[in-house]
Amino acid sequence: MIWIGTALALSLMGGLHCAGMCGGFAALALSKAKKWHFSRAFFLYTLGKTTTYAIVGGIAGGVGTVFHQSPLGSRILAGIIGIMMIWIGTELAGVNPIATRFNLKMPQWFRIAFSEAIQSHSKTSKYLMGLFNGFLPCGLLYAAFAAAASTSRPSSGALFMIVFGIGTLPSLFLAAHMFKAVSTSTRMNVTLATGWLIVLFGLVTLLRGVIMLPSMTH
């Protein structure tokens, strides 16, 4: 299962990027916890995020299954995913000016529901906050979903994203306690490095489509 290593590499290498994007939400979930301690709210928040990841990952894996029915379909899928990852990676690396023109905006009902989940003090609010957070636009996340599709199975795609979600936990936990300590320049540098890592994965995936290297289902 090569994809397990890919999921961990994406999540761990992109850790500071995740911290920069979601550190504020993680800090909110840990606001009532003791220093360097987990809390029930943080657990529910991360569970909500991982739930979203697993659902979308399962759907992506299901889409991959359709292409995986024939050698030609596998080549096409690898090509599409490789190009997507290269596109996303170059955007994160800051060398894709075309991609910056496409800004995905969430619908108003989503923004309202997300805002209510953040402000609510109910027992389920932090889970809902994480659930909505998992749908927020994120280049690293899009790359992970694309990689999940290459597993070509709904169960494997879901598990890929669960592993990815678990891999982001250390950085989110640290970010919640040290959110202001990490400089903007450091976050930017890590985002650039993450972008080039995604480009590398994209190139390997694209190459797999051309010469049919072993797939991530093995």
pLDDT tens sequence across 134-191: 998 787 888 889 889 888 899 999 999 999 999 888 878 877 666 555 566 766 777 7
- Please tell me the pTM assigned to this model: 0.77
How far apart CA 176 and CA 30 sit, in angstroms, is 7
Average pLDDT over residues 125-132: 92
Q: Confirm if 131 and 48 have CB atoms less than 8 A apart.
A: yes
Residue 217's pLDDT band, with cuts at 50, 70 and 90, is very low
pLDDT value at 215 more than 60: no
Phi (first) and psi of residue 179, to 5 degrees: -55, -40
Q: pLDDT at residue 47 above 90? A: yes
- What's the half-sphere exposure (Cβ side, CA atoms, 13 Å) at 155? 2
Q: For the ranges 19-28, 42-51, 123-132, which has the lowest average pLDDT?
A: 19-28
pLDDT band, very low/low/confident/very high, at 67 (cuts 50, 70, 90): confident
The predicted pLDDT at position 57 comes to: 95
Q: Say which residue, 202 or 30, is predicted with more confidence.
A: 202
Average pLDDT value for the chain: 80
3-state DSSP: the chain helix, strand, coil percent, rounded to 5?
Answer: 75, 0, 25
Question: Which comes out higher in pLDDT, residue 200 or 16?
Answer: 200
**Token digits for 195?**
């972008």
In angstroms, the CA 68 to CA 62 distance is 10
Q: Which of the four pLDDT bands, split at 50, 70 and 90, describes residue 76?
A: confident
CA max distance for the chain: 55
